[in-house]
Amino acid sequence: MVRYARREFLTAAAAAGVVSAAGCTDSGSSSDGGGFNTETPEADAADNWRMRRGGPGNAGVSSSGGPGGDADAAFTAEFRNGINLGYGAPTVGEDAIYGVGRVATPYEMEPRTFGGYAFRLSREAGSEEWRVPVELREGEDNLNFFPNSPKTCLGPDGLYVTWIRRGESSQDLVVQAHARDDGSRQWRNAFPGAASALEPVVDDGTLYLLGAARLLALSTADGSREWASDEFRYDQTVPSVGADAVVVANRGFADEEASRQVTAFDRADGSVRWSEPTGIRNGLHRAPSVVDGTVYLAEGITITVGAVAEELPPFSIRALDAADGSEGWSHTYKDRTDHWMMAGGTTSVAVDGSRVYYGLLYPTAAQALGRQASEADYERFEREAYTGASMVALDRADGSVVWTADLGNGAQVYSYLVVDDDYVYAKRLPDADPERRQWVAVEKASGEVAGRFGSGSAADGGRRAFGVADGALYEHVGDGVRVWR
């Protein structure tokens, strides 16, 4: 049986990538098994924020640190006539802030112009250092040729941009590189049959991205294809790159019956090393994290606009060996439930040298029921609603609970977290109270709230990823990047 929950909560939660969970039991209910290498994840501990989760393994680690619990909006680095409505994190190098966006005012230009730009902006004050076209075309006939916001990541030698080029009967995934010093285009490659442009990841001279139903590996030197996987139904937007393997959650290969699984591809040639079945998982920020030979995976159920299954299975955080997919430990944070209103949970984790962190988002009565529900419905919901922790830290070695944190107003934390040497940074679901601050910094040693900052509301619902680097927190605001210090 299928039920339908309130659209207000479902829309925000689905786009936020709130998967996995549903229910009202205490998080951290059980852990099982094994142990893994717990050395510091050097590959993801970059001094800057060059990719969606900081580094190629999607661990969400910042070694240079953020602003702590007390920050103000220092400035907004504006994209001149550019707008980015994607959900990726800002791209921050040691030299500048980089960004991409569609033309914001095509009908105010003469002649009318469509396409997109790439930008380099000052880290000190946000002033523009260069702006170059990704691709521009003039005239009404080109209204739909550049249909979406472009995506990007930053490498040592270039800014890598992906975008969709739509033609009359097909569309291509276009990948191109721009020099960091002046924005000049270095190379371009195109792949036919792509539905969307997704964020790339760069590591050790190779660009990895999901596109045209394949995992692609391109040379950063000239954009030539090093290899392409067999066609499969990938279920995340950013590949997770480890030392020897690239890990992607998916729903099976093209010649197989659809099934939920996570697959490790060999970095050398794209061949399949292993595939491991997973529970239901879906959502915006749902990429697994790959750190020191271990894959950390959040399982659960997506809250989507529309139907939510009546019966929901248990949901877990799992640690898998990247070599063969064997399970080291499993931490169940929500037991099976049969009540659709209790759907919620997490889609991803942040991983540092010793711990795994996750945040939880469960609906309140107002979000699930809406204003028209009866007082009896509200009372029944409140009796059954989730009242546990909103953030949890696990021991990387065995998945045991180190601490739990209550950030106030129930579990209203987006699944995307960032951890530095001292704090875990989280973004809360906006609500009607403008005094209830959206950004929260939690002491990672103890789970105590160190401070809060920022507005309690956001035009985009606060669903975007963010970056932490060199004492600042960076977030996209559509027409630029806001910097908190």
Query: Quick one: average pLDDT of 408-431?
Result: 87
Quick check: 114 and 142 in contact, CB under 8 A? yes
Question: Tens of pLDDT along 171-230?
Answer: 999 999 999 999 999 999 999 988 889 999 999 999 999 999 999 999 999 999 999 999
Query: Quick one: average pLDDT of 235-250?
Result: 94
DSSP state of 286: -
> Measuring CA to CA, which residue among 296, 306, 308 is closest to residue 21?
308
pTM for this one?
A: 0.89
> Measuring CA to CA, which residue among 7, 54, 51 is closest to residue 308?
7
Question: Tens of pLDDT along 333-343?
Answer: 877 665 666 67
Quick check: 453 and 72 in contact, CB under 8 A? yes
Using the predicted structure, report yes or no on whether residue 443 has a pLDDT greater than 50. Answer: yes
Name which of 159-173, 310-324, 451-465 the model is least confident about: 451-465
CA–CA distance, 338 with 76 (Å, rounded to integer):
46
Query: Quick one: average pLDDT of 237-245?
Result: 95
Q: Which of 29 and 466 is assigned the larger pLDDT?
A: 466
Q: Which of 109 and 408 is assigned the larger pLDDT?
A: 109
> Measuring CA to CA, which residue among 255, 304, 249, 308 is closest to residue 278?
249
Residue 369's SS3 state is: helix
Name which of 98-102, 303-307, 403-407 the model is least confident about: 303-307
Percent of residues, the chain, with pLDDT higher than 70: 82
Using the predicted structure, report yes or no on whether residue 372 has a pLDDT greater than 90. Answer: no
Residues pairing with 394 in the sheet: 356, 401
User: What is the predicted pLDDT for the residue at 405?
Assistant: 95
Q: Which of 273 and 256 is assigned the larger pLDDT?
A: 273
Q: How far is CA 39 from CA 201, 393, 421, in A?
A: 22, 17, 14
User: What is the predicted pLDDT for the residue at 210?
Assistant: 95
User: What is the predicted pLDDT for the residue at 126?
Assistant: 97
User: What is the predicted pLDDT for the residue at 369?
Assistant: 80
User: What is the predicted pLDDT for the residue at 344?
Assistant: 76
Domain count, the chain: 1
Domain hosting residue 321, numbered range? 2-484
Q: Is 220 exposed, middle or buried (0-12, 13-18, 19+ CB in 10 A)?
A: buried
The CATH number of the domain holding residue 126 is: 2.130.10.10
Residue 14 belongs to what H/E stretch?
Answer: helix 7-16
Q: Which of 345 and 104 is assigned the larger pLDDT?
A: 104
pLDDT confidence band for 163 (50 / 70 / 90) = very high
Q: Which two tokens stand for residue 408?
A: 């106030």
Using the predicted structure, report yes or no on whether residue 256 has a pLDDT greater than 70. Answer: yes
Using the predicted structure, report yes or no on whether residue 291 has a pLDDT greater than 70. Answer: yes
Quick check: 153 and 199 in contact, CB under 8 A? yes
- Residue corresponding to tokens 């271990």: 294
Q: Is 460 exposed, middle or buried (0-12, 13-18, 19+ CB in 10 A)?
A: middle
**Average pLDDT of the chain to the nearest whole number:** 85
Query: Quick one: average pLDDT of 153-169?
Result: 94
Highest mean pLDDT range out of 20-29, 40-49, 460-469? 460-469
Question: Tens of pLDDT along 47-96?
Answer: 799 999 999 999 999 989 999 999 999 999 999 999 988 888 999 999 99
Neighbours of 463 (CB within 10 A): 22
> Measuring CA to CA, which residue among 227, 203, 199, 202 is closest to residue 215?
227
User: What is the predicted pLDDT for the residue at 47?
Assistant: 77
User: What is the predicted pLDDT for the residue at 368?
Assistant: 76
Quick check: 115 and 146 in contact, CB under 8 A? yes
CA–CA distance, 381 with 319 (Å, rounded to integer):
34
pLDDT confidence band for 310 (50 / 70 / 90) = low
CA–CA distance, 228 with 214 (Å, rounded to integer):
6
